[in-house]
Amino acid sequence: MTTPASLAAMHQAASLKKQVIEALRTAILEGRFQPGDRLVEREICEMFQVSRTLLREALSQLAAEGILQIIPHRGPIVAIYTAEDARSIYELRATLEEMAGRCFAERATEAEHKALESAFAAFRKASRGKPGSDLLLVKTAFYAALTAGAHNPMLEDMLRMIHWRVTMLRAHTLSQPGRLAKSLGEIGDIMEAIARRDPEAAGQACRRHVMNAAAIADAVLTAKEAERDRPVRKRGTKEPSARDEVAAAPPAGEPRLARM
C-alpha cells in the first residue's frame, strides 16, 4: 500500500535524481569533462550522497540523451562524437529545421511570433558574455519557440529526440572564434524571413544556418580525431576525478548543489 511517507520518499528520490542529471549535464556541456573521460560511480555517489541504483538511473538518462556512453567493463564515459556522427546529425537537423522554419512562417500566431522575438532577444543578450551553458540554454529556448510555432507535433518529437546531441555539438561550434557573431547574423536572416511570412526564405535560412554550423563541427571534430590519435597524457599523470569536475564553480545564476 502506498503511504504518504512512501510518496514523499519517491518525490525526494526523483528530485535528487534530477539534480544529479542537471549537475552532470552542465559540467559536460561546459567542458569540465572532456569526450572520453570516465565517470567514476563511487565518487559521484559519495559527492551527492545517493545510492548506486539512483545514480545508474541518472546515468542511463544521460546516455539516452547522447551525452554519455555506457562502455561494457568500463562504465560511463562522456560521449565521443566523430565527424561522421556530426554529419549524420546535422543532415537530419537541417531537414527538420528547414521544415520548422517553413511551418512557423505559415502557421505561427502573433503570440508565437512575439515569443520567438523574445527568445532571439535573449540569445543576443547572452551572446555578449562568454560561451557556456547559459548561452546554450537560451539558444535551446529559441529553437523550442520555433518548433512550437510550427504546429507539427511529429516534427517537434523528432527534434526533441536529437536535442542533446545537437547541444553537445553546438558547444563545439559556438566556442570557435567568430562563429557566435555569424550565428547571430544567420538567425537574424531567419527572423527577417519569418517576419515577412515567407516560408521558402525562412526554410532556406534555417537550412543555411545549420549547414554552416555543420561545416565548423566537421572541421573541429576532424582535428580532434587527429589529436586523439596522438598520446595526450604523460606517464604518471592523473586524470581529473568526477568529484573535481562536478564540484567546480556552478554556472552563473545557479546555486551550488547541496549534499543531501
Model pLDDT for residues 208-243, shown as the tens digit of each residue:
999 999 999 999 999 988 887 776 555 555 555 666
Asked if residue 98 and residue 213 are part of one domain, the reply reads yes
In a domain, 229, yes or no: no
232 in a domain, yes or no?
A: no
Q: Given pLDDT bands bounded at 50, 70 and 90, which one contains residue 245? A: low
Do 51 and 117 share a structural domain?
no
CATH number for position 68: 1.10.10.10
The arithmetic mean of pLDDT across residues 130-142, rounded, is 82
Residue 18: which of 69, 49, 55 has the closest Cα?
A: 55
**Do 46 and 122 belong together in one domain?**
no
Task: Return mean pLDDT, the chain.
Answer: 86
Domain count, the chain: 2
Give the confidence band of 132 by pLDDT, cuts at 50, 70, 90: low
Residues 87 and 74 placed together within one structural domain of the fold: no
Q: Are residues 95 and 186 in the same domain?
A: yes
Q: Are residues 145 and 209 in the same domain?
A: yes
At 238, phi and psi to the nearest 5? -110, 135
Q: Decide if 230 is inside a domain.
A: no
- Cβ atoms of 90 and 213 within 8 Å: the answer is yes
248 within a domain of the structure (yes/no): no
Query: Could you tell me the CA-to-CA distances from 10 to 50, 185, 236 in Å, in that order?
Result: 13, 47, 44
**36 plus 59 within the same structural domain:** yes
Same domain, 110 and 201: yes
Q: Is residue 150 part of a domain?
A: yes
pTM: 0.77
Band of residue 3 on the pLDDT scale cut at 50, 70, 90: low
φ, ψ of residue 80 to 5 degrees: the values are -105, 120
Residue 13, pLDDT above cutoff 70 = no
60 and 128 housed in the same domain: no
The domain boundary, picked from 80, 98, 115, lies at 80
Same-domain check for residues 89 and 154: yes
Q: Tell me: pLDDT of 75 over 60.
A: yes
Q: Is 88 inside any structural domain?
A: yes
- More confident: 215 or 128: 215
Asked if residue 259 is part of any domain, the answer here is no
Mean pLDDT of 114-126: 96
Least-confidence region, from 28-42, 50-64, 243-257? 243-257
Query: Of 38, 56, 80, which residue is a domain's last?
Result: 80
Query: Which CATH number is 130's domain given?
Result: 1.20.120.530
Residues 187 and 100 in one domain: yes
- Confidence class of residue 61 from pLDDT cuts 50, 70 and 90? very high
pLDDT 10s digits, 47-57: 889 999 999 99
Give the domain range for residue 52.
13-80
Give the per-residue pLDDT at 226.
87
Q: State the pLDDT at residue 29.
A: 85
pLDDT higher than 90, residue 84:
yes
Q: Is residue 115 part of a domain?
A: yes
For the record, the C-alpha cell of 223 comes out as: 582535428
Residues 89 and 218 in one domain: yes
Distance CA 48, CA 244 (A): 13
